[in-house]
Amino acid sequence: MSAKTSSAETSAETTMSDRKAAALAAFKDLARDPGVPKPDPILVVDGVTRRFGGLTAVEVAHVEIQRGSITALIGPNGAGKTTFFNQLTGFDTADAGKWTFNGQSMSGVPAHRVARAGMVRTFQLTKALSRLTVLENMRLGAQQQRGENFWRALVPSAWRAQEDAITEQAEELLARFKLDAKREDFAGSLSGGQRKLLEMARALMVKPELVMLDEPMAGVNPALTQSLLGHVKDLRDQGMTVLFVEHDMDMVRDISDWVIVMAQGAIIAEGPPDTIMSDARVIDAYLGAHHDAPLSESELEEQLHQAEAALEAEIEEETQK
């Protein structure tokens, strides 16, 4: 890491947490090559391939996720990020490949066992359980519930005490995510952003070691985004590892310790968030290989902002109709 970036970091965050420092230290001096080995990987992926007919959606040769860090997975639409998540978490069957979580093989393990092992994901299209209350959504996330066994369920005294403890945990998390006022409402009555918050809070009820968030900030207003970002940083500070998919580069720069770039199914580059967007391979991936000249980081940002402004104008027009 260059002196310039570390000074920028400290000025942005006057009190940089120990965990963040540790995470940044781990990434110091790492090569920028796709699949670069990490000092203490929690997740190691080898040769994962997924084809849909003739289309190869995912073809990841090798990638490692550093324990205790926030890693961003970015890439253009259709790059295969969600499909890659689906393979790793057992929601889809990979055509080939092996991966280990905490040294334990996870290839071919069904989704619920992956979650139990401590690797929990959220979905790009939020999955709130509509006709359950917010609190029930949260309680569902807790593991090893005695009352989830058929016979014990019939005897309330067998699970009451545990249920109370779970409820307490849930209330704490709900308060942290500013959802406590909604606790008795049906999840189906929440707004899109609130559902994102609920889904993330619910995933935390599992007490995961690795949290995989698929576009957690999509459709969330800027104020709420700030609080979500805060929550994600909290996760690292509590010792969890976070892998998240995000399109907004400002956010990626703000919270991630390391960025992995995917394009057309493959990992094409890795690197620290403040320099990754100036990597020629990344620019190629986002803008196509035949653009005129290599863009500087500021030019790229300019382009992105222009595109964003155009999009916003369009949306405004749309809503005014």
Partner 1 sequence: MDWITIISTTVKSAIGVETVLYALAAIGINIHFGYTGLLNFGQAAFMGVAGYGLAVTVTVLGLPFWVGIGVGLAAAVLLALLLGAPTLRLRADYLAIVTIAAAEIVRLVFRSVQFRDVFGGSDGQRGFSDGFYALNPFPEGEYGIGWFSFNHRLLWIMLVGWVLVALSCGIVYLLMRSPWGRVLKAIREDEDAVRSLGKNVFSYKMQSLILGGVIGSLGGFIYGLAYASVQPDVFGTETTFFAYTIVILGGAARVLGPVVGSMIFWVLLVLVNGVLSEAVQAGYIPFMTSIQVGPVRYILVGLGLILLLIFRPQGIFGDKREIAFDVR
Ligand X SMILES: Nc1ncnc2c1ncn2[C@@H]1O[C@H](COP(=O)(O)OP(=O)(O)OP(=O)(O)O)[C@@H](O)[C@H]1O
Six token digits for residue 164:
């109370």
From the list Mg ion, ligand X, partner 1, none, partner contacted by residue 57 (C-beta under 5 to 8 A by kind): ligand X
Give the sign of the dihedral formed by CA 181, CA 184, CA 189, CA 194. positive
From the list partner 1, Mg ion, ligand X, none, partner contacted by residue 132 (C-beta under 5 to 8 A by kind): partner 1
Give every CB contact of residue 76 below 8 A, 6+ residues apart in sequence: 263, 285, 286
d(CA 68, CA 70): 7
- Nearest approach, Cβ of 130 to partner 1 (angstroms)? 4
CA 201 to chain CA centroid, nearest Å: 13
Six token digits for residue 213:
């968030």
From the list ligand X, partner 1, Mg ion, none, partner contacted by residue 147 (C-beta under 5 to 8 A by kind): partner 1
Give every CB contact of residue 294 below 8 A, 6+ residues apart in sequence: 280, 283
Q: Is 83 in the site for ligand X (CB under 6 A)?
A: yes
Give every CB contact of residue 275 below 8 A, 6+ residues apart in sequence: 5, 297
Comparing CB distances to partner 1, the nearer of 150 and 317 is 150
Residue nearest to Mg ion (CB): 82
Site for ligand X in 106-135 (CB under 6 A): 124
Comparing CB distances to ligand X, the nearer of 172 and 250 is 250
Q: Which residues bind partner 1 (CB under 8 A)?
A: 89-91, 110-113, 115-116, 120-123, 127-132, 136-137, 139-141, 143, 145-150, 153-154, 156, 159, 163, 186, 188-189, 199, 202-203, 205-206
Comparing CB distances to ligand X, the nearer of 23 and 228 is 228
Q: Is 311 in the site for ligand X (CB under 6 A)?
A: no
- Nearest approach, Cβ of 82 to Mg ion (angstroms)? 3
Q: What is the dihedral of CA 17, 23, 25, 31, to 10 degrees?
A: -150
- Nearest approach, Cβ of 77 to partner 1 (angstroms)? 22
For residue 202, CA distances in Å to 88, 140, 273 come to 20, 8, 28
Q: Is 120 helix (H, G, I), strand (E, B) or coil?
A: strand
Q: Is 211 helix (H, G, I), strand (E, B) or coil?
A: strand
- Nearest approach, Cβ of 102 to ligand X (angstroms)? 25
Comparing CB distances to Mg ion, the nearer of 77 and 298 is 77
Residues that bind ligand X (CB under 6 A): 52, 55, 57, 75, 77-83, 124
